[in-house]
Amino acid sequence: MPASFFDTNVLVYLASDPAKAGRARELLAHGGTISVQVLNEIANVTQRKLRFSWLETREFLSLICSFLSVIPITLRIHESGLGLAERYGLSVYDAMIAAAALDSRCDTLWSEDMHDGLVISGRLTVVNPFRAL
């Protein structure tokens, strides 16, 4: 399987949408990468929308970290992300995720929110894992 990077939405479905959780688990079983930004976004969603306790949030984040590599957001990634936002019209947050994926040498970015099929910098393809659902 190609080197994969996960957007926040795909991982949130593990805790919020039984119909999509199966597909998310399937992808997660192959491993991949996320950034600290993704962990922060998941923490925000579990607290504000899913109303998890702090213990539940920490346990969920720990579970995700046990399957995926986590990289920091560096100044280089930030600067690259700004360029991607400008070039591809992505939101700053989506562009930072794409920049982190590129920095991690991933070739697939699993995301339901970004444009399915978009090829970023000639080597990272955005794929909606739920397209067939």
Instruction: Answer whether 71's CB lies under 8 Å from 36's CB.
Output: yes
**Residue range 9-20: mean pLDDT, rounded:** 95
Q: What is the CA radius of gyration of the chain?
A: 14
The phi and psi torsions of 12 (rounded to 5 degrees) equal -60, -30
- Rounded to two decimals, what is the model's pTM? 0.94
Q: What is the dihedral of CA 5, 130, 112, 15, to 10 degrees?
A: -80
Domain residues of the chain, as ranges? 4-127
Distance of alpha carbon 16 from alpha carbon 50, whole angstroms: 7
Q: Tell me what pLDDT residue 2 has.
A: 62
Distance of alpha carbon 67 from alpha carbon 64, whole angstroms: 5
Residue 66 clears pLDDT 80, i.e. is over it: yes
Q: How confident is the model at residue 132 (pLDDT cuts 50, 70, 90)?
A: confident
Q: Tell me what pLDDT residue 80 has.
A: 98
Q: How confident is the model at residue 118 (pLDDT cuts 50, 70, 90)?
A: very high
In which order are the strands placed within the sheet that holds 108-110? 69-71, 33-35, 4-6, 108-110, 124-127, 119-120
Q: Tell me what pLDDT residue 125 has.
A: 98
Q: What is the pLDDT of residues 82-115, one digit of tens each?
A: 999 999 999 999 999 999 999 999 999 999 999 9
Which among 7, 15, 12, 9 is positioned nearest to 33, based on CA atoms? Answer: 7
Q: What is the pLDDT of residues 23-52, one digit of tens each?
A: 999 999 999 999 999 999 999 999 999 999
Distance of alpha carbon 1 from alpha carbon 92, whole angstroms: 28
Q: Tell me what pLDDT residue 1 has.
A: 47
Find tokens 């969603």 and name the residue. 45
C-alpha count within 13 angstroms, C-beta hemisphere, residue 15: 21
| Top CATH class, 4-127 | alpha beta
Q: Tell me what pLDDT residue 95 has.
A: 98
